[in-house]
Chains A and B, each alone.
Chain A
Amino acid sequence: MRFLVRRLGFLLVALWAALTLNFFIPRLMPGNPAESMMARFRGHVNPAALHALEVAFGIGGHQSLVTAYFEYLGNTLRGNLGISTSYFPLSVTSVILKALPWSLGLVGLSTVVGFLIGTAVGAIAAWRRGGKMDSVLPPTFIVISAFPYFWVGLLAIWLFAVTLNWFPILGGYSETAVEQWSWPFAGDVLTHAILPAFTIVITSIGGWILTMRNNMITVVAEDYVKMARAKGLKNQRILWQYAGRNAMLPSLTGFAMSLGFVISGAILVEYVFNYPGLGFMLLQAVQTEDYPLMQALFLLITVAVLLAIFVSDIVTAILDPRTRVRA
């Protein structure tokens, strides 16, 4: 119980620190959203709009930084994230809700798939150290994961979408398709998701393989594994339930963190594929100095990562009683 309380306390302090940084960092950037928006228009709107925009965004008011800070804390706790300045006049919540499913679906699923495949390959590779699989798969994927992501993404586009024409190049769905719950639309979304998902999986797999393989090698040498062998248990059972379960613990924390980062989308993936998710939105929010949207996205990422770590702590504690303090 004390363990749980301590972890919870840490969670709250980390949250407060994140909120505070989140409030101040965007304000250290030069300019303000109204000026940034005028710069985007390149002379296409009446210059007088600068004043109107400043009024609309509440810039240049007499509110002090301290008042604004406490107002921000209060609003955030009440779930009021404000109005996006780049997607003005949409509320930040509605903007995020539009993009969230796309990131969760694409990045979430491919992260899970990448983790599962990577961990399995790592475990098997370590089990049959020096075997064919061990000498081919881990090095290949580690090399792939060392490539810059956008290069892999563009290569995949060039090969599978442009040259072979198997998949569409960009977007979450066809440009003029109607968003609705129907089989043709679901199929449309799926064909658009395959290529970006594939690139996420092949670039993330290497890390999982490496971690799992290294852990597994140590674990396999443990006495209890020797004991299991001596008992004559089936190889499969020793591999997954004796060695695999313990070797997976460090990977699990990493997995929890990467699940947290799913919320941020994969910025490069979404940019390269014009995918309408949160990562692309974050990029845009930074470019246009959309403070409310930026803050909400950073907050969401922080909360997701903190929660994911919290959950992984609990799970680790359940799987491995030694991590419980004076249990």
Chain B
Amino acid sequence: MKSFLCELILSCVLASPGAKPLDDLTYGNALYDYYQQDTEQALLDVLVAEARGLRGADPVRFDLAKGSFAFKEGMYDYSSQVFAGVSEQELTPLDRMRLAFHLAREYYRRQDWPRLEEQLARIDLGANWLGRERRHPEVDFMAAEAAIARGDLNAAQAATARIDDHSEFLAYGLFNLGVAYRQAGDLAQAQDTFARLDSLPPVSAEVHDIVQRARLARAVVARREHRQMDAESVLGDLPAAGRYRDLALATYAGLAMDTGDNQLAARIWMTLQQQGGWSSGAAAAYLGFPMSLEKLAAPQRALYQYRAAEQAFQNRLTSLEALSERARDEHWLRRVLQALAGSAVEPQSSDALLGELGPEFRRDDWLEWLASDDVHQVLVEWQQLNGMQAWLERLPQQLDAYAELAGERQRRSAAARSLLEDQALRTRRDLAAAEVESLTSRLAELRSAPAQNSAAWMSLLADDQERALLEELQRSESYLMKHLAQREQPRWQARIARLRGVLFWQIAETRAARIQALRQQLQEGQRLLADIDARIGRVNAAEAEFVAGVATDFGSFTARAAALTDQVAAARDDRERALAVALRRGMEREAQQVERYLLTARIAIARASDQLAAAAPDAAVPDTSMASLPSTGVRP
């Protein structure tokens, strides 16, 4: 099972009998973060491992992981560089497929379809032990997209059919295929594809959302084909809340008008109009409601509603103009963006802030103005840059703490150094080494030389007292030779020789014991020397350990952080400018639309007034004020 999981994307660390080497543990740790979707941490893990020389015995595996993480982080140039650096010669067949998979993702991102298909052709996962072909949903999804791009919708359908029902890729694949069929004019296939999408299990919120979109699309296609009942049935399945509710209601009301059920249409339009707030559905309802009333032969109420629509459109235009003016203020705009960015985390405080900044507008208005793929990307980047800036703002505190720690280590390093000096460990070591050396050479001499009655031999074994006696005898002999008469000398020399002989026999008799004592002394000396060496080693290690980090140039860190802060600020300003432009454009778009609605409402008012006047030529100009209007009985 695990070997299968390890197959295409990245290779896992497979079990080994003993503990894994550190390289494998480090690589596995990066995978652990990656599998929890913390790609930035995973990428950081591999970069740290690389800097520490822990790429491991499989550098290809390491590079593929690094490139994949970088790709997921949106660092496309970097991931391309990493993949380009992978040596073809070192690739196993499985690695070749992994590389093809990662490159395919890159070509899919660039929408480079021929190259994408070239890479996909290299991926063949073979069959499992039951003989069933192994597929990867993302591979089939990309194959379907490539087939759609070259207009081969049959191939796209075949590729989509291979994706498992529980993969989110199937929802995206089916939706895009349905869109392609619709664009190709094959509405029947588009219907079937959207219907298949509708039958998918709601494995995630994203799939659920796509299914809603697909239902709406099915209704639109059915309406195009004049199958009103089908369209109604599909729309009826849409939930009564959510982002597609207004669109569904507007479409539903349009359908009702198509079929001449103006009573129903009026109810729906009124529901939309009275729900509070502004939306494209509500704007359409301001016009749709009076139009339905006209069809229901309630011209006075229709005129009143047209006037209400005119007023609403005018108010909206005024608010939009005022807001567009305020959007030129950078600080105000930044607060808006911050409120929007925090809306996912703290929706209530975000709404409160947005309410302060523009009371007439809701969060949906702001999002609507920013709703396009390019702007979404800029907004995402702006949020990322904000995160970076927040991290960089915290960095000086962290660096200060590290600098303090490094300083403490430096102090301890100095303490370790002084320990070496204060306790004169090196001098003691020199003395002990000299003693050991002397004893070693004495024992070596004793082993090589036989016992002999000489001062040199005896001094090798003599104790301090005997050595002093030997020296005294030597001095006495010299004295005799120098000062005594020649005839007296032999007698005294014989006496000295006799004394030396006594000493010799005394030493020779206890020679074995003395050599044993010397050996013990040597061992003791060696133990002492080893002990001193160990202490010196520990103190040296402590010194080296405390020195770690001390050499770090915190100034350089600070300078790098400062340069990066400037870059982040510049990039963020750039995004804010782009978002400000996008917001204003969004507002302008809406203003143009509202102006069109306003124009339509005014024409309708003129027409309805004429109509009422024509219907009652003898009467005074009809009173269309609110108080005089009768109830139509239309209720949501």
- Tell me, yes or no, whether A binds B: no
Residues of A within 8 A of B (CB): none
